[in-house]
Amino acid sequence: MEGETTNSAQEIRRLQRCMNDLVSVLALPAAWSGGESQQIVHTLLKALLRVLALDFVYARVKDPNGAVPVDTLHIATSGPLGRSPQTISAALEPWLQDDAQGQTAPARIRLDNEDISVFPVWLGPHGEIGLLLAGSGRDDFPLETERLVLNIAANQAVVSLQQARLLGEQKRVAGELDNWVARRTAELAAANEELRKEIAEHQQTEHKLRRNEEALRDAHALVARGEELWRSVFENSAIGVALTDLEGHFIATNPVYQKMLGYTEEELQKLGFDDVTHADNQAANAALIGELMGSSRRQFQMEEQYRRKDGSLVWVRNNVSLVPGTERLPQFLMELSEDIAERKYAEEALRASESNFRLIVDTIPGQVCTLKPNFEVELVNKPLRDYFGLALEQLKDWEFIGVVHPDDLERVIAQSRHSAATAEPYSIEHRCRRHDGVFRWFQVRALPLRGADGQVVRWYLLLIDIEDRKRAEEAVMASERNLKLIINTIPALAWSARPEGTAEFFNQRWLDYTGLTAEQASEWGWTVALHPDDLDRVTSYWQAAVATSDSVEIEARLRRSDGAYRWFLFRASALRDDAGAIVKWYGTNADIDDRKRAEEHVRRSEAFLVEGQRLSRTGTFSWRVETGEITWSDELYRIFELDPATPATLELIGRRVHPEDLPMIGDMLASAQRADSQFEYEPRIVMADGSIKHIHLIAHAVRDAEGRLEYFGAAQDVTGRRLAEEGLTRARAELADVARVTSFGVLTASIAHEVNQPLSGIITNASTCLRMLDTDPPNLDGARETARRTIRDGHRASDVVMRLRGLFSKKEAAVEPVDLNEAAREVFALMLSELQQARVVLQSELSEDLPLIQGDRIQLQEVILNLLRNASDAMNTIEDRPRHVRIRTSRDASDDICLTVEDTGIGFDPQHTDALFQPFHTTKSDGMGIGLSVSRSIIEAHRGRLWATPNDGPGATFAFSIPRNPEAS
């Protein structure tokens, strides 16, 4: 344990010594600088002998040019070796042989009865510089530390020796050069002398010589000027220039350089480059100069600090180059130095202001961030970091971490890319996610900061929270949408225009109607929808109106999207501001096409009316009962054959009316004045020439808005018709008579049959009655019954006779309530036997609830009889099917009473239906062809209709219908 401690202590001491030795050895080159090899070897050996306490040290330095090597031996005076250098040299002979380089191990030799350890250290990688031999009596020599010191010392010495050798070479070369110059000068001088002699001898040669001299002088002057020029450049250069030898000693410096360092020229010449260089830069400088020497580069540049004479430091930029040597000049270093203290200071200040700026950005109360020119996030101030709840590092990835609303992100990225490329500032609105996940709207403004060269050096982003404004805007937009909805849903075409009249807005209805887009219609575009015939009128009217008036109203046609034109009423009013200037025009277009059409229609129908009145000989009139005011149409004046200028009065009318009809007219007027009524009369009027006109007069009451009574009516001149009707009635009556008479003959047989039946019944019953009375006792009950039957049959016979009489004797038509079923049954009774003979089966379907009708019973029975007989006639050739007649009575939909007679007879050609009803049209050999025509006039006299239709099957159907309450004519 103790031994170890002792060893450690020794080791430490040893190491310390070694360190000291190294320091001593490393200090050597300082002393060698610029020295010759002999001096270097000498100091080296001396130092080693002392430092390592050697007994001797020997050095052999070889001559590069092959001259004899120089051997140096130092022996410790206090050592055991005597002063016999020859002995030592001889003992060292084995290492001094040419082939001894490989020996690097220490060896022990015997010398002067002493055992000496010898350690060889070769100078230069292959001993080309020489050899160092260290000797010590110690048998542990050399220790590891001693080897180190020796090797380092040897290396140092090699460098110094090489330098010294180079220096020596330079000196030698310079010496040779000087010798050469001296020799050449001497030769030239000799030549000159010879020339002079020749000049003396030859004038021409003399002249030549003079010229030579002049040329030489010129050359000298040229050289002097060049030198002066160079000097001037050197002295006046704006940057510091220093020339140093390859060791760094100053050869020459210019004033700028001197001033920069605060030394004089003389002072500097005693100094080396390293003396003015900051310690930190020396190693780097040495390395770079080494590179220059190794000719791997021609020059280098570096920024470094110089130490001035007063100890202060100054920043310079150095450009160092190696100037190659010439015949007369060795190569040297040229150093161009620029004082960059100010620039460095500015950079420093910039750095300071930069950190200041960061501080400012961070303390701004608004939300700010700065970006690099490529839009990379550089700085985010605290309020903004707090808003996002994220750190700067996180915010650098803003594109990916969802801080910008996904719907806005693409737009924001596009904008920032665009601005990064173009340096354009921008303002954009988008949503940013707050730390709690809520998105709020921001207005983000980006402004570029440009450097002196105009390039963007930084972007400033200002984020302004506009959430509240956005909400307000949205509310406004919503109410605008609402308004727009209202405008678009009002059932009108609406628009607005600017004060000067150019269109600004059209509602959806307007656009839908015209099929134009808002862009197409804007300004004057809408005029394409105007009808070409209206275009000029409307545009000139509109232009004039906007200039002069407050409201506008014009009618014009507008083209619908399908190309159809419709009439519109264009209406617009101006909205004025407080100063009375028009701000806007608001207008609507109302579709008046239907009104326009109606107007046209009215105009036409008025024309029709006038024409119609004239053609139909119908005049119209109105009569205001209260005022007695009567208005007549022109046609009415014509009918009354009065001058249209004459005002129509009741009195004037009274004078024209036929005296027989006056009371009727009087009654009519009286009741019309009393209450609202509707009347229809046919009075006669007497013309000035005594001719009579039949007037069909019809009028009805109308109350106006104030409740006043007024009659509107029409009066038709029906004289012609009336006369014709009268003729027709007469003819009909006559025809009917004829018909009756002809029917009479046919009926005779059936009458006989009809009457015969009850008569034979009477006879039979009467005989039976007698027989019953004759029995004993007499059958009184039976007799009474048969007597009763006799009486019944008697009545039947008398009924038949009575009906026949009625049928043939009745002349005048009489209106009475008639039961059509009953009337039909009576006809069946009359026709029964005739139908049986003709083998016709009669089927009657008489409606139960048939109301009574107003009419002439006999005439109606005549019609039924006619139809029944025609049916029977139509079937008298039919053998292949039953001869059926079906009679039906019914009420139809309009409450008319109907009777149909359907047979299975031969039928008729439907094309000739009308002919059947023509008088005297018959297909029968014994027919007269008046039955149907008389029947039709009877039914029409009852305001009814008689018609014929062919059956679906065989046969035909004849039918008539009569209104329930026909107003008998």
Return residues touching ligand ADP (CB under 6 A).
Answer: 866, 870-871, 874, 903, 905-908, 916, 921-924, 927-932, 956, 958
Measured from the CB atom, the residue of 345 and 744 that comes closer to ligand ADP is 744
Beta carbon of residue 871, minimum distance to ligand ADP (angstroms, whole number): 5
Give me the least distance between CB of 931 and ligand ADP, in Å please.
Answer: 3
Closest to ligand ADP by CB, 255 vs 919, is 919
- CA–CA distance, 892 with 69 (Å, rounded to integer): 166
Q: How far is the CB of 937 from ligand ADP (least distance, A)?
A: 12
Residue 574 tokens, joined: 């101006």
Structure tokens at 749: 């047989």
- C-alpha distances in Å from residue 166, one per residue of 71, 178, 358: 20, 18, 58
Nearest distance, CB of residue 869 and ligand ADP, angstroms: 7
Per-residue tokens: 280? 């930190």
Minimum distance of ligand ADP from residue 800's CB (angstroms): 24
Query: Pick from 711, 653, 727, 641: which is nearest to 683 by CA?
Result: 653
Using a 10 angstrom Cβ sphere, with 0-12 exposed, 13-18 middle and 19 or more buried, the burial of residue 226 is exposed
Question: CA 17, CA 149: separation in Å to the nearest integer?
Answer: 11
**Nearer Cβ to ligand ADP (310/914):** 914
- Smallest separation, CB 884 to ligand ADP (Å): 12
- Taking the least distance from each CB to ligand ADP, the nearer of 87 and 844 is 844
Please identify, using beta-carbon distances, which residue of 443 and 913 lies nearer to ligand ADP: 913
Q: How far apart are the first and last CA of the chain?
A: 170
Residue number with CB closer to ligand ADP (731 or 802): 731
Kindly state the smallest distance separating residue 865's Cβ from ligand ADP, in Å: 11
| Largest separation between any pair of C-alpha atoms in the chain | 240
CB atoms within 10 A of CB 298: 11
- C-beta of residue 859 within 8 angstroms of C-beta of residue 926: no
Residue 728 Cβ, how far from ligand ADP at the closest point, in Å? Answer: 17
Residue 336 vs 874, nearer CB to ligand ADP: 874
Minimum Å gap between C-beta 921 and ligand ADP is: 5
Least Å distance, CB 909 to ligand ADP, is 10
Strand partners, 432: 404, 440
What is the smallest separation between the CB atom of 886 and ligand ADP, expressed in angstroms?
12
**Which of 761, 929 has the CB closer to ligand ADP?**
929
Closest CB to ligand ADP among 672 and 840?
840
Gap between the Cα atoms of 549 and 140, Å rounded: 131
Evaluated on CA atoms 814, 816, 819, 822, the torsion sign reads negative
591's tokens: 């579709």
The smaller minimum CB distance to ligand ADP, of residues 815 and 906, is found at: 906
Q: Which is nearer to ligand ADP, 307 or 921 (CB)?
A: 921
Residue closest to ligand ADP (Cβ): 931
User: What is the SS3 assignment for 269-332?
Assistant: HCCEHHHHECHHHHHHHHHHHHHHHCCCCCEEEEEEEEECCCCCEEEEEEEEEEECCCCCCCCE
Cis peptide before 142 (omega within 30 of 0): yes
Burial of 504 (0-12, 13-18, 19+ CB in 10 A): middle
CB-neighbour burial class of residue 580 (10 A; exposed 0-12, middle 13-18, buried 19+): exposed
Tokens found for residue 752: 């006989």
